[in-house]
Structure 1
Amino acid sequence: MAEVQRVTVLGAGSWGTAFAKVLGDAGRDVTMWARRPEVAAEIRERHLNSSYLPGIELPERITATADPAEALDGAQAVVLAVPSQTLRTNLSEWSGLLPPDAILVSLAKGVELGTLKRMSEVIAEIARVDDGQIVVVSGPNLAKEIALGQPAAAVLACTDHDNAKAIQQASFNQYFRPYTNTDVVGCELGGACKNVIALSCGMAAGLGLGTNTTATLITRGLAEMARLGAKLGADPLTFAGLAGVGDLVATCSSPLSRNRTFGERLGRGETLEQALAATGGQVAEGVKSCTSIRELAMGLGVDMPITDAMHRVCHEGVDPRRAGAELLGRSQKHEWS
């Protein structure tokens, strides 16, 4: 297993920046790519990214550029830190610049609209690499808390365990503890589905509902993602771990979660357009993923009622109160059926 020392992070949003900091604090040399030259300049010259993680000082080992070719030169690992629904477009622009033997690390959590592909499948298709060259990062990873150095853990999933271990070694530091896993399918489904369930928990909070409701949505949401995972061959134990219940609890419970706070706005009666305006046009991943995950589940004959309800609220104009009433009015059943 070769040691990974030089890492490129493509994307300078909150999670990309936080993960770059993790790598820098683990002693790696990191080059970030930012679309906006002024963001790259601030990271390079002041070791700050005030647009996404204000007040967080970045390690000296991190530099940045707005030139993707410069960023990728000599990289041993490339971290893809762009939203799930723009990954294909971005990676198509970068694919000719990727070092052929670099480990590709995916931070995106979602299922692609239209193709219904997981992010690792999109990467394998566009970058023309084997599955074993792609490592997926998942777990309870709220960017701000990690950037502040608060203890956290993650799962690094790859079909090639040596590559997972190489990224584990490159990202392990005094506050970030990564574990390895070979269940890429389960880790990716957990990361995508939890965003949708977090939307529902936010809506419940916006409607003034309490802890019992949130706990119910988390638990039944976990059952939904486990059913989908079972159909696609995932390991059931994955959903009991960091990429499953761990990520789900963090995203559904924290005000730092964009999906939860977006859902809360919808629950308070705001339209999708109003919620978008209030968040500066930044769409929560779950708003788009609820549609692709719903379509994937329907094609496989998997029952995902919370996901279906979130799609209808976000994209068919159904009132959150009505969606909640319909969920409660579903036919009675055994818990595990």
Structure 2
Amino acid sequence: MAPASVTLPPGFLLSFLKSQLFTRPPPPTHDFSNQVILITGSNTGLGLEAARHFVRLNTAKVILGVRSIQKGEAAALDIEQTTGRKGVVQVWEVDFSSYKSVEVFCGRAAKEERLDVVIANAGVAIPRWEQVEGTERTVLVNVLATFLMVVLMVPILRKSGEKHGGVPPRLVVVSSEAHEQASFVEQDSPPGQIFTTLASNKPSLQPDRYNTSKLLEVLLVRALAPDIYSPSSTPHPEIILNTLTPGLCKSLLMRHAVFPLNIFAAIGKVILARSTEVGSRTLVAAAAAGNETHGKYMADCRVREPSRWVRSEKGKVTQQRVWEEVREILEGVREGCTKCLD
């Protein structure tokens, strides 16, 4: 397998610069009255600012899914002080480095009387190989544990939608334009071995792990969308599943970056990056978006095509392979968890 390298597909740089320099996502104005919103990775950065918008936009409850209760409570207090609304934000603990923690978290969500929107925003970019739950940590947190939460939330959202009606539940997965830069050499692994290769300790492939994890998120959203909601199916309400890029933002995501990436990232953020508040507007837009975004990738608050590779025949075949492997892994974590998609 060839070493990973940074890939800039044709047209990527121009599109990226146009988005970062000349496109400003509009401030959200959608009314979320009576809705309950759950956001992971929300004690800082994009998740925090999105939560602040949701509180300002009249949500009944915003649940912050965080690793540190202490940091989450500090974030909740900050939101209360800046919005003037108290008693709206709750802080729940969840660690996406642990399947068990995700299961407990979703079990708690199942006890809620109502749940309208789930935003999977928790993510990491780890420069060195770390093994957790038998796999590489970036892939675990950004992909496997995230989609364990997604499939566990499907029946919860369906139940809530059936009970309350009128407002289609949403599942939003925060991805990145970095998916277009993924080398993803693991796609050429033998049948059933993509995630085995992703779990291996290969320093030459580690720099591509984050980009690949974001690509896998896009593939999985596209794979799951037909099963989560089909316009011709009736017993279940709509569940709108979409994914998005917030663009390059001034967040803490690259805090673990090592030389020389840390230098390039710092310079790039000074010149090009959006504030976390501006970037967070894209999360809110995805949570308010309609059927036209189901199974789609969004950028600058609009539907945009993902990379050419995703849409290629190789991409379509690999997408199915990825979902079959992820489904097997998740069933090994919790038997029957993906049957809601049958």
TM-score range, shorter chain: 0.3 to 0.5
Structure having greater relative contact order (Cα 8 Å, sep ≥ 6): 2
Q: When the two structures are superposed, what TM-score results if normalisation uses the length of structure 1?
A: 0.34
Q: When the two structures are superposed, what TM-score results if normalisation uses the length of structure 2?
A: 0.34
